[in-house]
Amino acid sequence: MAIVTGKNQRWRVFAAHAFLWILIGVMLLPLLAVISISLRPGNFATGSLIPTEISLEHWKLALGIPVQTADGALIEPPFPVLRWLWNSIKIAGITAFLIVAISTTAAYAFARLKFRFKSVILNGMLLLQIFPAVLALVAIYAVFDTIGNYLPWLGIETHAGLIVAYLGGIATHVWTIRGYFETIPVEIEECAKVDGATHWQAFRHVLLPMAVPILMVVFVLAFVGIIIEYPVASVLLREEPNLTLAVGSKYYLLEQRYLWGDFAAAAVLSGLPITAVFLLAQRWIVSGLTAGGVKG
């Protein structure tokens, strides 16, 4: 930069570096500490932060392998972490797929078709998403309690019920995909229609293949969003083998049964892949959203 630099510039730069490194240290310490705790024998804070003795007991338990202690007692894994992880992935995968499906078709209508009440519906959607699901937990519980009386496979304590409960949260996704569709020239589909394609064929075979990048972004966003969702899942799922990771993890740190080391291993095991996916998605989000944000 063409700014005239002062004499003490070098000191300032040095101070800034030092400050930033200290801050990074403080901010990342909790994350590093968890990795260290997961490798430390025992469930209580003993000794130093850097483990003097590496023990894989917590990792074995997190992976569902029983551990033999020195005095011969066999410790069974306290919680079915892998099962919870699988529940979370299953629910999030199915939900994200359905969310992409229904928000893509809705976004297509908003981007390309003319119909009455268009702006009313669009504004209504945005208005609705101001109110988080936490505010309607009682009603969500009551609704699924009632549904369960008639369709037991869709009631409380079922994964199908939870998936269906998540399907309402599509407003932002519709908005994102709509923005992307509007950047694609409408002429391409019109050519297809001139060649005799129906609306559905033009959408399915022309527009959809071009929108794959944004659909992947929306899929990942929805997927991560549901993996970390706590309130609705905690209301609809109660039984241990049924829980998602977000609901189950809390059981490690109850005062009656405090399993700090076991929690640390389970947290690293499940947190690392989700963090990686999120960081990867971030890159897509930036490119995807800037591409979609420019309205035609």
Site for other proteins, residues 35 to 64, rule: CB under 8 A = 37, 43-45, 49
Q: Least distance in Å: CB of 272 to other proteins?
A: 9
Task: Identify whether the C-beta of residue 170 lies closer than 8 Å to the C-beta of residue 103.
Answer: yes
Q: Least distance in Å: CB of 281 to other proteins?
A: 9
Q: Spell out the residues 6+ positions from residue 33 whose beta carbon is closer than 8 angstroms to its own.
A: 49
| Closer residue to other proteins, CB minimum distance, 115 or 212 | 115
How far apart CA 28 and CA 286 sit, in angstroms, is 24
Q: Least distance in Å: CB of 260 to other proteins?
A: 5
257 forms beta bridges with 254
Applying the rule CB under 8 A, the residues between 59 and 98 that interact with other proteins are none
Select from 67-75, 147-155, 182-190, 212-220 the region that touches other proteins (CB under 8 A). Answer: 147-155
The yes or no reply on residue 5 touching other proteins (CB under 8 A) is yes
The yes or no reply on residue 148 touching other proteins (CB under 8 A) is no
- What's the token pair of residue 36? 């260290």
Among 217, 222, 227, 265, contact with other proteins (rule: CB under 8 A): 227
Residue listed under structure tokens 């004499």:
7
Q: Least distance in Å: CB of 72 to other proteins?
A: 25
How far apart CA 58 and CA 142 sit, in angstroms, is 39
Applying the rule CB under 8 A, the residues between 169 and 198 that interact with other proteins are 169-171, 174
The yes or no reply on residue 162 touching other proteins (CB under 8 A) is no
For the chain, the first-to-last Cα distance in angstroms comes to 35
Applying the rule CB under 8 A, the residues between 264 and 293 that interact with other proteins are 264, 267, 270-271, 274-275, 278-279, 282
What is the number of other CB atoms lying within 10 angstroms of the CB of residue 135? 10
How far apart CA 117 and CA 122 sit, in angstroms, is 8
How far apart CA 252 and CA 262 sit, in angstroms, is 7
223 forms beta bridges with none
Applying the rule CB under 8 A, the residues between 93 and 132 that interact with other proteins are 101-103, 105-106, 108-110, 113-116, 121, 125, 128-132
